[in-house]
Structure 1
Amino acid sequence: MPVNRSRRAVASRRRSRRFLAADNDLTATEWRAIQAAWGCCAYCGTPDAALQKDCVLPLSRGGRYTLENVVPACRSCNASKSNDEVTGWLRRTRRDEPAFLLRWAEVMMGLRPAPPG
Protein backbone atom coordinates (compact mmCIF):
# COMPACT_ATOMS: atom_id res chain seq x y z
CA MET A 1 0.00 0.00 0.00
CA PRO A 2 2.79 2.55 0.56
CA VAL A 3 3.38 2.58 -3.20
CA ASN A 4 -0.21 3.72 -3.82
CA ARG A 5 0.07 6.48 -1.24
CA SER A 6 3.31 7.58 -2.76
CA ARG A 7 1.77 7.67 -6.25
CA ARG A 8 -1.20 9.60 -4.91
CA ALA A 9 1.11 12.06 -3.19
CA VAL A 10 3.13 12.59 -6.37
CA ALA A 11 -0.04 13.04 -8.44
CA SER A 12 -1.43 15.45 -5.86
CA ARG A 13 1.75 17.53 -5.91
CA ARG A 14 1.72 17.64 -9.72
CA ARG A 15 -1.91 18.72 -9.76
CA SER A 16 -1.18 21.42 -7.16
CA ARG A 17 1.71 22.75 -9.25
CA ARG A 18 -0.46 22.83 -12.41
CA PHE A 19 -3.23 24.59 -10.49
CA LEU A 20 -0.88 27.21 -9.07
CA ALA A 21 0.81 27.77 -12.45
CA ALA A 22 -2.49 28.34 -14.28
CA ASP A 23 -4.32 31.66 -14.36
CA ASN A 24 -7.30 30.61 -12.23
CA ASP A 25 -9.71 33.47 -11.72
CA LEU A 26 -12.99 31.78 -10.76
CA THR A 27 -14.49 33.59 -7.77
CA ALA A 28 -16.76 32.08 -5.12
CA THR A 29 -19.59 34.28 -6.44
CA GLU A 30 -19.09 32.97 -9.98
CA TRP A 31 -19.05 29.36 -8.73
CA ARG A 32 -22.37 29.92 -6.92
CA ALA A 33 -23.81 31.46 -10.11
CA ILE A 34 -22.63 28.46 -12.16
CA GLN A 35 -24.23 26.04 -9.68
CA ALA A 36 -27.49 28.01 -9.71
CA ALA A 37 -27.57 28.23 -13.52
CA TRP A 38 -27.04 24.48 -14.01
CA GLY A 39 -29.01 23.35 -10.95
CA CYS A 40 -27.59 19.83 -11.27
CA CYS A 41 -24.64 17.84 -12.57
CA ALA A 42 -23.81 19.25 -15.99
CA TYR A 43 -23.15 15.78 -17.38
CA CYS A 44 -25.82 13.44 -16.00
CA GLY A 45 -28.42 15.84 -14.60
CA THR A 46 -28.35 14.40 -11.09
CA PRO A 47 -29.28 17.00 -8.50
CA ASP A 48 -26.63 16.68 -5.82
CA ALA A 49 -25.82 18.90 -2.89
CA ALA A 50 -22.14 17.98 -3.20
CA LEU A 51 -21.46 19.18 -6.75
CA GLN A 52 -17.78 19.57 -7.56
CA LYS A 53 -15.98 21.98 -9.86
CA ASP A 54 -15.00 20.21 -13.07
CA CYS A 55 -12.94 21.81 -15.82
CA VAL A 56 -14.38 21.21 -19.28
CA LEU A 57 -10.80 21.43 -20.55
CA PRO A 58 -8.80 19.73 -17.77
CA LEU A 59 -5.93 21.46 -16.01
CA SER A 60 -3.57 18.79 -17.31
CA ARG A 61 -4.50 19.80 -20.87
CA GLY A 62 -4.13 23.54 -20.38
CA GLY A 63 -7.50 24.35 -18.84
CA ARG A 64 -8.06 26.79 -16.00
CA TYR A 65 -10.60 27.40 -13.29
CA THR A 66 -12.51 30.18 -15.06
CA LEU A 67 -16.16 31.07 -15.57
CA GLU A 68 -16.11 29.63 -19.09
CA ASN A 69 -14.31 26.39 -18.25
CA VAL A 70 -15.95 25.17 -15.03
CA VAL A 71 -19.18 23.18 -14.74
CA PRO A 72 -20.75 21.48 -11.74
CA ALA A 73 -20.29 17.71 -11.71
CA CYS A 74 -21.42 15.00 -9.35
CA ARG A 75 -18.66 12.98 -7.75
CA SER A 76 -19.29 10.01 -10.04
CA CYS A 77 -19.09 11.99 -13.30
CA ASN A 78 -16.09 14.00 -12.12
CA ALA A 79 -14.18 10.85 -11.19
CA SER A 80 -15.18 9.09 -14.41
CA LYS A 81 -14.21 12.01 -16.64
CA SER A 82 -10.91 12.48 -14.80
CA ASN A 83 -8.65 14.45 -17.16
CA ASP A 84 -10.37 13.39 -20.38
CA GLU A 85 -11.48 15.87 -23.00
CA VAL A 86 -15.20 16.42 -22.43
CA THR A 87 -16.61 15.57 -25.88
CA GLY A 88 -14.62 12.36 -26.17
CA TRP A 89 -15.67 11.33 -22.67
CA LEU A 90 -19.34 12.12 -23.41
CA ARG A 91 -19.22 9.98 -26.55
CA ARG A 92 -17.39 7.12 -24.87
CA THR A 93 -19.88 7.03 -21.99
CA ARG A 94 -22.78 7.35 -24.44
CA ARG A 95 -24.08 10.60 -23.02
CA ASP A 96 -25.88 13.24 -25.04
CA GLU A 97 -22.98 15.36 -26.30
CA PRO A 98 -25.08 17.84 -28.36
CA ALA A 99 -27.42 18.44 -25.41
CA PHE A 100 -24.48 19.14 -23.08
CA LEU A 101 -22.82 21.54 -25.56
CA LEU A 102 -26.07 23.40 -26.19
CA ARG A 103 -26.83 23.72 -22.47
CA TRP A 104 -23.24 24.79 -21.77
CA ALA A 105 -23.51 27.55 -24.40
CA GLU A 106 -26.86 28.70 -22.97
CA VAL A 107 -25.48 28.85 -19.45
CA MET A 108 -22.39 30.74 -20.59
CA MET A 109 -24.52 33.30 -22.45
CA GLY A 110 -26.58 33.82 -19.31
CA LEU A 111 -23.55 34.19 -17.04
CA ARG A 112 -21.45 36.54 -19.13
CA PRO A 113 -21.83 40.21 -18.28
CA ALA A 114 -23.54 42.34 -20.90
CA PRO A 115 -21.16 44.32 -23.12
CA PRO A 116 -20.95 48.03 -22.27
CA GLY A 117 -22.89 50.42 -24.38
Structure 2
Amino acid sequence: MGLALRLYENLTEAPDDATRFRLIVETIDALEQQWPRAGDVALRSDVRESELRIQKEIAELRAEVKRDIAALRAEVQKDIANVHATIERTKVDLLKWIVPLMLGQVAALAALVKLL
Protein backbone atom coordinates (compact mmCIF):
# COMPACT_ATOMS: atom_id res chain seq x y z
CA MET A 1 0.00 0.00 0.00
CA GLY A 2 1.29 3.45 -0.88
CA LEU A 3 2.23 6.06 1.66
CA ALA A 4 -0.58 8.43 0.62
CA LEU A 5 -3.27 5.76 0.86
CA ARG A 6 -1.99 4.61 4.24
CA LEU A 7 -2.02 8.25 5.48
CA TYR A 8 -5.59 8.72 4.25
CA GLU A 9 -6.79 5.58 6.00
CA ASN A 10 -4.96 6.50 9.23
CA LEU A 11 -6.39 10.06 9.16
CA THR A 12 -9.96 8.84 8.68
CA GLU A 13 -9.56 6.39 11.57
CA ALA A 14 -7.78 8.86 13.89
CA PRO A 15 -9.92 9.77 16.95
CA ASP A 16 -8.74 13.39 17.34
CA ASP A 17 -6.80 16.24 15.72
CA ALA A 18 -3.64 15.62 17.76
CA THR A 19 -3.41 12.09 16.39
CA ARG A 20 -4.06 13.38 12.87
CA PHE A 21 -1.28 15.98 13.19
CA ARG A 22 1.11 13.31 14.52
CA LEU A 23 0.26 11.04 11.55
CA ILE A 24 0.90 13.91 9.12
CA VAL A 25 4.26 14.67 10.77
CA GLU A 26 5.25 10.99 10.66
CA THR A 27 4.33 10.82 6.97
CA ILE A 28 6.34 13.96 6.20
CA ASP A 29 9.27 12.46 8.13
CA ALA A 30 9.00 9.24 6.12
CA LEU A 31 9.01 11.26 2.90
CA GLU A 32 12.07 13.21 4.03
CA GLN A 33 13.85 9.92 4.74
CA GLN A 34 13.20 8.81 1.15
CA TRP A 35 14.40 12.07 -0.42
CA PRO A 36 18.05 12.24 -1.42
CA ARG A 37 20.34 14.29 0.76
CA ALA A 38 21.65 17.58 -0.59
CA GLY A 39 25.15 16.12 -1.00
CA ASP A 40 23.79 13.05 -2.83
CA VAL A 41 22.30 15.01 -5.71
CA ALA A 42 24.62 15.78 -8.62
CA LEU A 43 24.56 19.40 -9.70
CA ARG A 44 24.86 20.52 -13.28
CA SER A 45 28.43 21.63 -12.59
CA ASP A 46 29.25 18.19 -11.14
CA VAL A 47 27.88 16.49 -14.23
CA ARG A 48 29.80 18.86 -16.54
CA GLU A 49 33.02 18.28 -14.58
CA SER A 50 32.55 14.51 -14.85
CA GLU A 51 31.82 14.84 -18.55
CA LEU A 52 35.02 16.84 -19.12
CA ARG A 53 37.04 14.32 -17.10
CA ILE A 54 35.60 11.44 -19.14
CA GLN A 55 36.30 13.27 -22.40
CA LYS A 56 39.91 13.78 -21.31
CA GLU A 57 40.24 10.08 -20.44
CA ILE A 58 38.74 9.11 -23.81
CA ALA A 59 41.24 11.36 -25.61
CA GLU A 60 44.12 9.81 -23.66
CA LEU A 61 42.88 6.30 -24.45
CA ARG A 62 42.53 7.16 -28.14
CA ALA A 63 46.11 8.45 -28.20
CA GLU A 64 47.31 5.30 -26.42
CA VAL A 65 45.40 3.07 -28.85
CA LYS A 66 46.87 4.96 -31.82
CA ARG A 67 50.39 4.49 -30.40
CA ASP A 68 49.71 0.79 -29.88
CA ILE A 69 48.36 0.42 -33.41
CA ALA A 70 51.39 2.22 -34.85
CA ALA A 71 53.75 -0.04 -32.88
CA LEU A 72 51.87 -3.16 -34.01
CA ARG A 73 51.83 -1.94 -37.61
CA ALA A 74 55.61 -1.41 -37.52
CA GLU A 75 56.11 -4.86 -35.99
CA VAL A 76 53.90 -6.51 -38.62
CA GLN A 77 55.68 -4.69 -41.43
CA LYS A 78 59.01 -5.89 -40.05
CA ASP A 79 57.66 -9.45 -39.89
CA ILE A 80 56.41 -9.14 -43.47
CA ALA A 81 59.84 -7.91 -44.58
CA ASN A 82 61.43 -10.91 -42.83
CA VAL A 83 59.02 -13.27 -44.60
CA HIS A 84 59.81 -11.65 -47.96
CA ALA A 85 63.54 -12.06 -47.30
CA THR A 86 63.03 -15.70 -46.33
CA ILE A 87 61.02 -16.32 -49.50
CA GLU A 88 63.77 -14.74 -51.61
CA ARG A 89 66.45 -16.89 -49.93
CA THR A 90 64.35 -20.00 -50.42
CA LYS A 91 63.81 -19.10 -54.06
CA VAL A 92 67.55 -18.72 -54.64
CA ASP A 93 68.26 -21.97 -52.81
CA LEU A 94 65.68 -23.79 -54.93
CA LEU A 95 67.18 -22.40 -58.12
CA LYS A 96 70.63 -23.56 -56.97
CA TRP A 97 69.30 -27.12 -56.81
CA ILE A 98 66.73 -27.18 -59.60
CA VAL A 99 68.93 -25.82 -62.42
CA PRO A 100 71.72 -28.41 -61.97
CA LEU A 101 69.13 -31.18 -61.56
CA MET A 102 67.39 -30.13 -64.76
CA LEU A 103 70.69 -30.04 -66.62
CA GLY A 104 71.49 -33.47 -65.22
CA GLN A 105 68.14 -34.81 -66.40
CA VAL A 106 68.74 -33.40 -69.86
CA ALA A 107 72.18 -35.03 -69.95
CA ALA A 108 70.73 -38.33 -68.69
CA LEU A 109 67.99 -38.23 -71.34
CA ALA A 110 70.57 -37.45 -74.01
CA ALA A 111 72.67 -40.41 -72.87
CA LEU A 112 69.60 -42.65 -72.93
CA VAL A 113 68.72 -41.47 -76.43
CA LYS A 114 72.29 -42.26 -77.63
CA LEU A 115 72.00 -45.75 -76.17
CA LEU A 116 68.80 -46.44 -78.01
TM-score relative to the length of structure 1:
0.20
TM-score relative to the length of structure 2:
0.21
Higher relative contact order (CA 8 A, sep 6+): 1
Structure with a larger share of its residues in helix: 2
